[in-house]
Amino acid sequence: MNRVADDIAAGARILRGERNWWFLGPGGGVARLRAGHVSADGTLRPDAERRLREHGLLSAAPPSTYSLTVLTSTHCNLGCGYCFQNTGQDAADGSRPPRIPRIRLTSRTITSILDFTDRQMAAAGLDKLRVLLFGGEPLLNPRGCVELLERAADHGMTSAWMISNATLLTPALAARLAGLGLESVQVTFDGDRPDHDRIRVVRADGGGTFDTIVGNIVRASQAAPLRWILRVNVSQETYQGVDALIDRLAGALDPGRCALYFAQVGDVGVGYGNDLPHSGDVSARFSRWQRRALDLGFTVTRPQAHRPCATCGYGDGRYGAVVSADGTLSSCWETAGKDDWQVGTVTGGYLPDTPDRQRRWIGCEDLYRRGEDARTLAAFHDTVDAALLDYLDETGRL
Ligand code: SF4
């Protein structure tokens, strides 16, 4: 990975494109660099650095919004084998892997969460709040979702989104939540329909969910002005169907309201391995999928610098929190609802900064580290991201 020296701009990236180098600044800016701007080892030459600094591309403002993630239900109606909230695999090879304890968000806990949020926002000097409805499956507790958004409006909420499997999303509920400020919903596909229906299964009976999800998105889109973030999970079990999936989604949904992104599934310690290597063939596939998605009218998430996550990236919860349905705090989504990973409660605040709390304070990426070394992983992402920037540039979308 090519980086600007840490003392200049932590997280900035320099990528080698087909025709030029790309600079991704920590504040979100993108700049085109010529060969003369970059030395042989991929670092910035002083004059290029000076010009980027003059244009403000080496600096980043701290988050201006407090990010609050709330699990409205820790339970889920699906039984995905790779779910990071599983505590193991289904011993009978069925669709019911053991999960974290089942808890629902109540009115009383919402009060405690919003009081805690007020205190945290005041301490950080922030007055804008972004809420994420999370689970388990958040829509297993629709009343909790509605009440949280209704009441968060009086605590500075300026935007809200949800990560949901979408199997329980009705048009009426979509309209209600959108009316309360919900802007977008992230929904996952595990490859094309046959793969998805084998992996993303109903917990109760192992049935497939692809058609239900797509149908619910279509009907919810008619009822509410929601945008959709479609995450495509890529693993050795799904990658061969991704081309067909993109075309299928474009035929069923309005690509103009959807962003697509492709993500490799990692083993988070529950025995669900992903053997797909970070090879040249796989990076070429990612690039092909991104180009096809763009050509069909989807948005594709733009490459960014390595900026700290507002929720887990600061080590002290200054700019955001993840709260489970019982009011316990964790550092990031992946550890929410897991007893051994709690870093406090909304009533008592964060635990003192001891080595034990530091051990529990993990970041988004930590649990997904796979067997390959960090250099291989970074090179893979750099290749895919540079190819996307090249294509955005080539097609006038940059
Ligand atoms: S839908 Fe989400 S929360 Fe539910 S089992 Fe699958 S990955 Fe886990």
96 in the same domain as 47:
no
Q: H/E/C letters for each residue in 298-360?
A: CEECCCCCCCCCCCCCCCCCCCEEEECCCCEEECCHHHCCCHHHCCEECCCEECCCCHHHHHH
Q: Whose CA is nearest to atom 3 of ligand 1?
A: 136
**Residue 394 maps to a domain:** no
**Residue 378 maps to a domain:** no
241 in the same domain as 95:
yes
Q: Which of 61, 88, 110 is the last residue of a domain?
A: 61
Residue 112 predicted with pLDDT over 60:
yes
Q: What is the pLDDT of residues 331-363, one digit of tens each?
A: 999 899 998 899 999 999 999 999 999 999 988
107 in the same domain as 47:
no
119 in the same domain as 21:
no
CA 129 / ligand 1 centre spacing (Å): 26
d(CA 308, CA 94): 38
**Residue 361 maps to a domain:** no
CA 78 / ligand 1 centre spacing (Å): 6
User: For residue 152, what are the domain limits?
Assistant: 70-307
Whole-model pTM?
Answer: 0.94
**Residue 127 maps to a domain:** yes
Q: Which atom of ligand 1 is nearest to the CA of 85?
A: 8
287 in the same domain as 232:
yes
Q: What is the pLDDT of residues 380-389, one digit of tens each?
A: 899 999 999 9
148 in the same domain as 131:
yes
89 in the same domain as 33:
no
91 in the same domain as 14:
no
Q: What is the pLDDT of residues 189-215, one digit of tens each?
A: 999 999 999 999 999 999 999 999 999
84 in the same domain as 45:
no
15 in the same domain as 138:
no
d(CA 187, CA 213): 8
277 in the same domain as 189:
yes
d(CA 109, CA 229): 29
Q: What is the pLDDT of residues 302-312, one digit of tens each?
A: 999 988 888 88
d(CA 32, CA 149): 41
Number of domains comprising the chain: 2
Q: What is the CATH number of the domain that holds 228?
A: 3.20.20.70
Q: Which of 283, 307, 331 is the last residue of a domain?
A: 307
Using 50, 70 and 90 to split pLDDT, how confident is the model at 3? very low
| Residues in contact with ligand 1 (CB, 6 Å cut-off) | 76, 78-80, 83, 85, 135-137, 165
pLDDT the model gives residue 154: 98
CA 6 / ligand 1 centre spacing (Å): 37
Q: Which of 36, 61, 86 is the last residue of a domain?
A: 61
**Residue 349 maps to a domain:** no
155 in the same domain as 45:
no
Residue 278 predicted with pLDDT over 80:
no
CA 83 / ligand 1 centre spacing (Å): 5
Residue 162 contacts residue 220 (beta carbons within 8 Å): no
**Residue 95 maps to a domain:** yes
Residue 9 predicted with pLDDT over 60:
no
pLDDT the model gives residue 272: 59
